[in-house]
Structure formats: C-alpha cells, structure tokens
Amino acid sequence: MLLVIDDQSSWRALYRTEFEGHFEVVEAIDGRDGLDKLDSRTPDLVILDLHMPRMDGARFLACLRDRGVSTPVIVCSGLGAEAERIAGAGVRFVAKSPDLTELARAVLTLSPVSR
C-alpha cells in the first residue's frame, strides 16, 4: 500500500494516477488523517507533503518515529530547504513537480514492493 498525504486533491489525484497500477493507493488530507489511516494498516511507502493544515508533514514524521514505524517516506514538497532539513534515515526529499520522473525513481528505490 502507498499512503499519499497531501492537502491538495490535485496532487493526490496525480500521484494516484501514476502509482495505482503498482500499489493500492490510500489518500490522506493531512498528517492527522494519515495517522488515522495507519491505525488500520502499515503502508509499504508514504509520499508526504510538508505544508498542511491540522498536522503538517514534520509533525507527522515525529509521530511516526514516536510510534516506532520505520516505513520509508518520500517528502514531496516545494519547501526544499525545510524538507532537506528533516530528511534523514528512511526519509528522502523529492521536489514537488508535475513531472513525476524523480518521484517515480524514488518510489522504485524505496519501495519494498518494487524490489
């Protein structure tokens, strides 16, 4: 399962279109919604925006760590400097772009399903 967390429906739709042939894509509108989705299943991979209402991406990552979840995360954001600051073990930054080449490459690299 691929968990896509982004408050913009257009980005979620773009990611769904790109990846639904390879994953079951589950969408969340912010970090809080993403954590709720984790209560029922652990995804193989997360695509995460940073700037969202209720719970932003940085707080979501902190909650993942607190829960002991080691699922790989791709931070896909236009906030490059902030994203690179929080990138670390199990977290990769990809600049948000409608050209999904770099994101698709990261998904193939990090997804245990694609190996």
Identify the domain containing residue 24 by its residue range: 2-90
Asked, for residue 113, whether it belongs to a domain, the answer is: no
Asked, for residue 19, whether it belongs to a domain, the answer is: yes
Asked, for residue 96, whether it belongs to a domain, the answer is: no
Asked, for residue 115, whether it belongs to a domain, the answer is: no
Beta carbons of 93 and 77 less than 8 angstroms apart: yes
pTM of the model: 0.88
How many domains are contained in the chain? 1
Asked, for residue 100, whether it belongs to a domain, the answer is: no
Beta carbons of 75 and 85 less than 8 angstroms apart: no
Asked, for residue 12, whether it belongs to a domain, the answer is: yes
Dmax over CA atoms of the chain, in Å, equals 34
Where residue 50 sits, what CATH number does that domain have?
Answer: 3.40.50.2300
pLDDT in tens, 38-78: 988 889 999 999 889 999 998 999 899 899 888 999 998 77
Asked, for residue 52, whether it belongs to a domain, the answer is: yes
Asked, for residue 109, whether it belongs to a domain, the answer is: no
CA 66/CA 53 separation, integer angstroms: 21
pLDDT in tens, 67-91: 988 899 999 877 655 555 665 656 8
